[in-house]
């Protein structure tokens, strides 16, 4: 029986959007199989060669609908101040009427699916419930993989329990007899991904792609959840969760926040090169964290699957990901081989001699375009990952001993440094970012794009309040129980322009030093920016690193950091008079240490 509050909402949206019929998603494998076979029959999906990848399918989107559209993503609060300078703001009094007009009759000729879903293990006190109404079968299929869906979740809504209302329409109604395109969507100027924190509600219109349409992901698990967390005393973060076991059998958990293209998924699925060390995946993208009665910070991965960037994923960079996508995977905007398998740039050293590209056209190595879209994706079950931890769905969460921040910086930032305190660690999180490269269409090549906590597009409220919330959270426990905070940089380059650190599985060497520091061993070198390993305390056995390169990896160049201070000061202007006092204090302390 459908809870009354849910039934009332469904009826309202039915009247507004006018779908041909309504179907509840019960979360069964048969439903999934039937729906995806229907997509193949309608030529909206392509079955991958089952001898190559069993139960795998390829979808191709419209070229206008290939990524998250940040400039069409909105935080809609009554007061602009609550949205802050990092979000696009439109008041509900303006945005709701505008979108209601777009939604009117938008599902005509289509099915409206009702998807009850849980972010986090079903029934965990950490978890939150959402219900997504959508007219996109692609969204239904992906939500089935990415979240826990169906009747078990619906049961939790008995007695009119609260849930996050998530409304999505691709914005392409069908008249009788009208042919449906392979990937229906609305023009870019009609796309809206709108968040109403005051109503715990998400409205998405016009896009069928990824985070624009899979509303449990960035929309709920970060933007809405971060606002909920602020009021309820926890954290919703853009972080991986990694389980490390030493050769002695000691287990510790770390989280890590990294901007895009900084090796986040590779680290979440790392294959350690050091003998005896074991790394297991708890989560690759999002962590919900809260302090429990023992004073320690615990985390869950609220997702049930991976929505990963395929480009660059290979047996060398991430073998665990390659094993994960060997079956039961949805691919989006990748290329197709003549054998009916998938391919993308970076998957192999040499491309095949012929492919069908992501738009369905012939492609050859001398074609002047990418075979797969640079943002091509795979959607895969987390349970299929060979490195997934046995306790990755523990409803109690896992205790966090360390938090990593990082970015892509060819200079200035050393391989690893440790914060002096939790407050100093929050400062490090606030200044993290990556250098802008020629791969980004920008006039600011060489400058640093700051991405605080890797959350710049995902903070659901004012960034100053977000930083202050982190600082307040740290006061709720004893200093000795707080996780240690580190800043890593795998991307330092030498004078020849070559990467100094090998990365990938070798990153376990840095994690080993962190592991030991958590236990209070391996005294570091104290520098102006934080604690750096002594060269002899990094395990470099069987690794060819020259003395000059090792010096570069651990160097803190005061001149470069004085320039960095100017960059940070300029960035902090974004906060205006609302810059948290602790950030100002930490910056002044850094300036003083650099003068010594």
Among 384, 413, 444, residue at a domain's last position:
384
- Listing DSSP states for 423-457 in one string gives HHHHHHHHH-EEE--TTS--S-TTSEEE-GGG-TT
The string of pLDDT tens digits covering residues 251-305 is 999 999 999 888 899 999 999 999 999 999 999 999 999 999 999 999 999 999 9
pLDDT for 319 equals: 96
Percent of the residues in the chain that have a pLDDT greater than 90, as a whole number? 95
**Residues in a beta bridge with 378:** 308, 331
Q: What average pLDDT score do residues 376-399 get?
A: 98
Q: Supply the CATH number for residue 262's domain.
A: 3.90.228.20
DSSP H or E segment with residue 223: none
Q: Are 136 and 183 in contact (CB under 8 A)?
A: no
419 Cα distance to chain centroid: 24
In a domain, 592, yes or no: no
Strands 484-488 and 416-418: what pairing? antiparallel
Residues 196 and 323 in one domain: no
pLDDT for 261 equals: 81
Catalytic choice (17, 166, 262, 385): 262
pTM exceeds 0.95 for this model: yes
pLDDT for 521 equals: 85
Residues 143 and 94 in one domain: yes
pLDDT bin (cut points 50, 70, 90) of residue 596 is: confident
For the chain, how long is the longest CA-to-CA vector? 77
The string of pLDDT tens digits covering residues 436-476 is 754 444 446 568 999 999 999 999 999 999 999 999 999 99
Residues 205 and 310 in one domain: no
For the record, the structure tokens of 172 come out as 């392409």
For residues 563 and 232, give the distance between their C-alpha atoms in angstroms, rounded to a whole number: 39
Among 358, 384, 410, residue at a domain's last position:
384
Q: Supply the CATH number for residue 172's domain.
A: 3.40.449.10
What share of residues in the chain are helix, strand, coil (percent, to 5)?
Answer: 30, 20, 45
Q: What average pLDDT score do residues 42-70 get?
A: 97
Residues in the chain: 596
Q: Does the pLDDT value for residue 392 go beyond 60? A: yes
Residues 534 and 419 in one domain: yes
For residues 135 and 106, give the distance between their C-alpha atoms in angstroms, rounded to a whole number: 9
Among 350, 384, 418, residue at a domain's last position:
384
Q: Does the pLDDT value for residue 244 go beyond 90? A: yes
pLDDT for 260 equals: 83
Please give, one letter per residue, the 3-state secondary structure of 510-533: HHHHHHHHHCCCCCCEECCCCEEC
DSSP H or E segment with residue 581: helix 581-595
In a domain, 312, yes or no: yes
Whether 385 is catalytic is no
Q: What is the mean pLDDT of the chain?
A: 96
Q: Does the pLDDT value for residue 537 go beyond 70? A: yes
Q: What average pLDDT score do residues 126-141 get?
A: 98
Total domains in the fold of the chain: 3
Q: Supply the CATH number for residue 332's domain.
A: 2.170.8.10
pLDDT for 437 equals: 56
Residues 257 and 396 in one domain: yes
Host domain of residue 473: 237-303+390-556
The string of pLDDT tens digits covering residues 3-35 is 999 999 999 999 999 999 999 999 999 999 999
């Amino acid at each position: 029986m459908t809870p009354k509050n849910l039934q009332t909402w469904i009826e309202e949206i039915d009247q507004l959007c006018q779908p041909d019929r309504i179907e509840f998603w019960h979360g069964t494998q048969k439903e999934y199989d039937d729906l995806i076979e229907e997509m193949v029959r309608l030529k909206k999906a392509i079955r991958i060669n089952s001898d190559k990848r069993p139960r795998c399918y390829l979808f191709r989107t419209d070229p206008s609908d290939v990524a998250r559209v940040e400039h069409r993503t909105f935080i809609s609060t009554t007061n602009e101040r609550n949205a802050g300078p990092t979000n696009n703001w439109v008041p509900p009094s303006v945005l709701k009427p505008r979108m209601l007009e777009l939604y009117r009759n938008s599902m005509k000729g289509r099915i409206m699916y009702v998807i009850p879903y849980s972010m986090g293990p079903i029934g965990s006190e950490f978890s939150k419930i959402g219900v997504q109404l959508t007219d996109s079968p692609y969204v239904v299929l992906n939500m089935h993989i990415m979240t826990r869906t169906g009747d078990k979740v619906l049961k939790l809504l008995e007695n009119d329990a609260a849930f996050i209302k998530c409304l999505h329409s691709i914005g392409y109604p069908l008249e009788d007899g009208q042919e449906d395109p392979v990937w229906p969507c609305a023009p870019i100027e009609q796309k809206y991904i709108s968040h109403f924190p005051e109503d715990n509600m998400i409205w998405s219109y016009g896009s069928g792609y990824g985070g624009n349409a899979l509303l449990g992901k960035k929309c709920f698990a970060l933007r809405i959840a971060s606002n909920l967390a602020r009021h309820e005393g926890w954290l919703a973060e853009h972080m991986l969760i990694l389980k490390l076991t030493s050769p002695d059998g000691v287990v510790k958990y770390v989280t890590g926040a990294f901007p895009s293209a900084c090796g986040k998924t590779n680290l979440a699925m790392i294959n350690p090169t050091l003998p005896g060390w074991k790394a297991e995946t708890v989560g690759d993208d999002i962590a919900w964290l809260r302090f429990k009665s023992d004073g320690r910070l615990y985390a869950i991965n609220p997702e049930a699957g991976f929505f990963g960037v395929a480009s660059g994923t290979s047996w060398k960079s991430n073998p665990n990901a390659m094993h994960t996508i060997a079956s039961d995977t949805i691919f989006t905007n990748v290329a197709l081989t003549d054998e009916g398998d998938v391919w993308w740039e970076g998957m192999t050293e040499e491309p095949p001699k012929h492919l069908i590209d992501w738009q369905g056209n012939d492609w050859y190595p001398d074609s002047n375009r990418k075979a797969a879209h640079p943002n091509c994706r795979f959607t895969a079950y987390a349970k299929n990952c060979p490195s997934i931890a046995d306790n990755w769905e523990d409803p109690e969460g896992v205790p966090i001993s360390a938090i990593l921040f990082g970015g892509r910086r060819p200079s200035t930032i050393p391989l690893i440094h440790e914060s002096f305190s939790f407050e100093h660690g929050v400062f490090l999180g606030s200044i993290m970012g990556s250098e802008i490269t020629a791969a980004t269409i920008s006039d600011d090549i060489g400058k640093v794009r700051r991405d605080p906590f890797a959350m710049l597009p995902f903070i659901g409220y004012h960034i100053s309040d977000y930083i202050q919330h982190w600082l307040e959270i740290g006061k709720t426990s004893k200093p000795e129980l707080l996780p240690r905070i580190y800043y890593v940089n795998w991307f330092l380059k030498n004078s020849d322009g070559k990467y100094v650190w090998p990365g990938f599985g070798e990153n376990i060497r840095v994690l080993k030093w962190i592991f030991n520091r958590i236990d209070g061993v391996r005294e570091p070198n104290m520098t102006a920016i934080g604690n750096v390993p002594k060269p002899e305390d990094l395990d470099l056995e069987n690794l060819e690193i020259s003395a000059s390169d090792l010096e570069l990896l651990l160097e803190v160049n005061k001149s470069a950091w004085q320039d960095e201070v100017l960059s940070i000061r300029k960035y902090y202007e974004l906060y205006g008079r609302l810059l948290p006092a602790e950030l100002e204090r930490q910056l002044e302390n850094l300036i003083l240490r650099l003068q010594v």
